[in-house]
Amino acid sequence: MIKQRERPNMDDRLRFFEHEGHRILLVDLSHCTAREVEEITRRVPDYVTTQPLGSTLYLRILEEPRLTGIPSSP
């Protein structure tokens, strides 16, 4: 039996990392339900507003979302 990949917890889905001298906020929405996407997205300002104005780069990962029941854009 193939073991299902372990999903990150909420704290791991929002985190800063450094790359080439830049501080980047990673927002990992991969394999999330619509409710999880909403919860994580609402927490982003709590992270960004603690940083100096204009200093934060943002990287969002959205892979295989489970967003059933949400109408698609025309």
Contact indicator for 23, 32 with CB cutoff of 8 Å:
no
Q: pLDDT in tens for each of the 74 residues of the chain?
A: 334 456 667 778 999 999 999 899 999 988 888 888 899 999 999 999 999 998 889 898 887 656 555 555 44
Q: What is the pTM of this model?
A: 0.70
Contact indicator for 44, 15 with CB cutoff of 8 Å:
no
Residue 39 has a pLDDT of: 93
Contact indicator for 4, 36 with CB cutoff of 8 Å:
no
**CA gap 29, 12 in Å, rounded:** 11
Q: How far out from the chain centre does Cα 21 lie? A: 21
